[in-house]
Amino acid sequence: MQRGHRLKTLSFTVLVPTYQRVEDLRRCIEAIERQERIPDCVMIVCRDSDVATHDFLMSLDSALQIQVRRVERPGMIAALNLGLEHVSTDLVALTDDDAAPHPDWLARVERHFLTDLQVGGVGGRDYVNGSAIDSDIVSTDVGRLQWFGRTIGNHHRGVGLPRDVDFLKGVNMAFRTEAIGQLRFDERLRGSGAQVHNELGFSLAIRRRGWKLIYDPKVAVDHFPGRRYDGDTRIDKSIEATGQSTFNETLAILEHLPSYRRPFFWLWATMVGKRNAPGLLQCFRFRPFALRTWAEFAVVLRARIDASRIAKR
């Protein structure tokens, strides 16, 4: 497909990785069945050992064109990459099994791709239910990588008009397969389950190829954060999970930042940091006399150093 050629219709695959969350997956599929724009294919990727999910899919009675792919290796990245290998449509939309896309989700996504042929990716808001996150807090600053490497997410709080962003959120993002090409999610990332921040490097790579990424709050899904089967339990993360997510985020950032900006990233990350990846000032701000605080700081610093050693120059 040439960028200068405008199409009236596009073919669509919805890719859903899943693991041991049958009731969540059922809700997700039912939401896809209610789409105003029915996808050409729904690809479900699940672990070969996940008997409950396979039994559910075998008994599923749906009008959707569903493909089931089995993956042997654990982790989100292996599932996503296996799915991408089998996508043959113009567009691929990614969502999680614990999400329920709004009925106009795919229709709105498709319109963005049809309107501007330079758009390589589209994402939107996830309305979080049943979690500690307050969805009533809103923001217009979404999906941005600051010049020194600090990430600003807020995809679950975004309001306003569609706008260009630096990165999308995995629970609600779609890409033009031409923009993806041979790009795959980074298999160097750490973790055995969610492999947090896997979408960051993927999104930034699409941007480096010259494509636009659009965030539209009206491209929406309801997100019911489900159980995770690794150390990243969302509410009370293990120190190991903190190190894994910090490594993943740092690797993506360092490979995107120009070399002259990396010293500023190190200064910010070491001296300030974020609450879930603390630098020195954050440690003194939150529970400075708790042993866990300084254990987290040590793990975060080690993770950042490890990421810097393998980051491509």
| Residue 282 backbone dihedrals phi, psi, to 5 degrees | -65, -35
| Residue 301 backbone dihedrals phi, psi, to 5 degrees | -65, -45
Looking at 169, 194, 223, which one is the last position of a domain?
A: 223
Same domain, 74 and 190: yes
Same domain, 23 and 125: yes
2 belongs to a structural domain = no
Same domain, 25 and 83: yes
Same domain, 130 and 264: no
pLDDT confidence of residue 164: 98
Same domain, 164 and 18: yes
Q: What is the pLDDT of residues 159-172, one digit of tens each?
A: 999 999 999 999 99
d(CA 121, CA 114): 12
Give the total number of structural domains in the chain: 2
Q: What is the pLDDT of residues 186-200, one digit of tens each?
A: 999 999 888 999 999
Same domain, 22 and 55: yes
65 belongs to a structural domain = yes
pLDDT confidence of residue 193: 86
Q: What is the pLDDT of residues 144-157, one digit of tens each?
A: 999 999 999 999 99
**What's this model's pTM, rounded to 2 decimal places?**
0.92
Does 3 score more than 50 pLDDT?
no
Q: pLDDT category, 132, cuts 50, 70, 90?
A: very low
Q: What is the dihedral of CA 242, 148, 197, 121, to 10 degrees?
A: 170
Same domain, 254 and 173: no
Does 224 score more than 50 pLDDT?
yes
Same domain, 219 and 243: no
Same domain, 63 and 168: yes
What CATH code is carried by the domain that includes residue 197? 3.90.550.10
Cβ distance 68 to 57 under 8 Å?
yes
pLDDT confidence of residue 252: 98
Average pLDDT for the chain: 92
DSSP sequence for the chain: --TT---S---EEEEEEESS-HHHHHHHHHHHHT-SS--SEEEEEEETT-HHHHHHHHH---SS-EEEEEE-S-SHHHHHHHHHHT--SSEEEEE-TTEEE-TTHHHHHHHHHHH-TTEEEEEEEEEE-SSSS-TT--BS--SEE-TTS-EE--GGGB-SS-EE-S--BTTEEEEEHHHHTT----TT---SSS-TTHHHHHHHHHHHTT-EEEEEEEEEEEE-----SSS--SSS--HHHHHHHHHHHHHHHHHHS-GGGHHHHHHHHHHTEETTEE-HHHHHHS-TT-HHHHHHHHHHHHHHHHHHHHS--
Same domain, 132 and 215: yes
5 belongs to a structural domain = no
Does 41 score more than 90 pLDDT?
yes
4 belongs to a structural domain = no
Q: What is the pLDDT of residues 72-126, one digit of tens each?
A: 999 999 999 999 999 999 999 999 999 999 999 999 999 999 999 999 999 999 9
Same domain, 147 and 188: yes
Same domain, 30 and 156: yes
pLDDT confidence of residue 135: 56
pLDDT confidence of residue 158: 95
Domain of 130, in residue numbers: 12-223
d(CA 123, CA 196): 17
276 belongs to a structural domain = yes
Q: What is the pLDDT of residues 268-301, one digit of tens each?
A: 999 999 989 999 999 998 887 788 889 999 999 9
